[in-house]
Amino acid sequence: MQQVAMNLATEETSDWWEVEALYDLCFAPGRSALSSYRLREGIDPIAALCLTARDDNGILAGAVRNWPVRIGQWDAILLGPIAVHPTRQGEGVASLLMQRCLDLARADGWHRLMLVGDAPYYARFGFDRLADVIMPQPTNPDRVLGIALTPGAWDAVHGPVSRTDD
Ligand SMILES: CC(C)(COP(=O)(O)OP(=O)(O)OC[C@H]1O[C@@H](n2cnc3c(N)ncnc32)[C@H](O)[C@@H]1OP(=O)(O)O)[C@@H](O)C(=O)NCCC(=O)NCCS
C-alpha cells in the first residue's frame, strides 16, 4: 500500500459541512438511516477523536468521527463514519486516520473501541468480531467488530449497545 504525506488534524467546527459532504459522497444515499446513527443522534462526538486528513493543498482527503456508547455497564467508542475521497483511496489515508484514532484513544484512557464494518478490511488493525455485543437492528452481526485498547478489555463485555443518555 502507498503511504502519502497527509496532515491530520482535529476536526474544527468549520470543517463540519465539508466532512458531511465527503460522507455523502462516499456512502450510499440514506446513510443516516443506518442503525449506528440512532446511537449518535443528539450526542456530541468525542471531539479529540474526530479527525480530518488534508493534503498539502489543504484539500480534504479523508475524515473520521467517533462517538461514545454504552454496553451495559461498559463504556466503549463507536468508530465511524470513516471515509476517504474516491480519488485518494488506496493511498493509506484511512490507515493513517485509524492508527491515529487508536493511539489517541489509548492515550486518553479508553479501554475498547468498536465499529460496524467489513472484517476483511479492519482485521489488519486488529479488529475481531464481537459475538456477544448486539447492535440495534438491522445490523449484520458479522460486521460488529471490536479492538481492545487495554488487554482483555472486551472479555466480559456483552449485551446491547445503547446511547450514552439511555
Ligand atoms: C474503506 C475506506 C475508508 C478505505 O480507505 P483507504 O484510504 O482507501 O484505505 P487504505 O488506503 O488505508 O487501505 C486500502 C486497502 O484496504 C482495502 N480495502 C478497502 N476497503 C475494503 C473493504 N471493504 N474490504 C476489504 N478490503 C478493503 C483495499 O483493497 C486496500 O488493500 P491493499 O492494502 O491490500 O492494497 C474507503 O475505501 C472508503 O471511504 N470507502 C467508502 C466509505 C466506507 O465504506 N467507509 C467504511 C465504512 S465501515
List, for residues 77-129, the tens digit of each pLDDT value.
Answer: 999 999 999 999 999 999 999 999 999 999 999 999 999 999 999 999 999 99
Give, using CA atoms, the residue closest to atom 4 of ligand 1: 94
Query: What's the mean pLDDT when you consider all of the chain?
Result: 96
Q: Which of 1-5, 51-55, 59-63, 125-129 has the lowest mean pLDDT?
A: 1-5
Given this structure, which CATH class describes domain 7-162?
alpha beta
CA distance 56 to 7: 7
Q: Which atom of ligand 1 is nearest to the CA of 89?
A: 8
What separation in Å is there between the alpha carbon of 33 and the centre of ligand 1? 22
For the segment 136-165, the average pLDDT, to the nearest whole number, is: 96
Contacts of 157 (CB under 8 A, 6+ apart): 71, 72, 74, 76, 112, 130, 132, 133
Q: 101 in ligand 1 pocket by Cβ < 6 Å?
A: no
- Please state, in angstroms and as integers, the Cα–Cα distance from residue 117 to each residue in 15, 57, 140, following that order: 24, 30, 9
* Contact assessment for residue 32 and residue 133, using Cβ atoms and an 8 Å cutoff: no
Centroid of ligand 1 to alpha carbon of 125 (angstroms): 12
* pLDDT(139) > 60: yes
Q: Which three cell numbers mark 88?
A: 485518494
Separation CA 27–CA 164 (nearest Å): 25
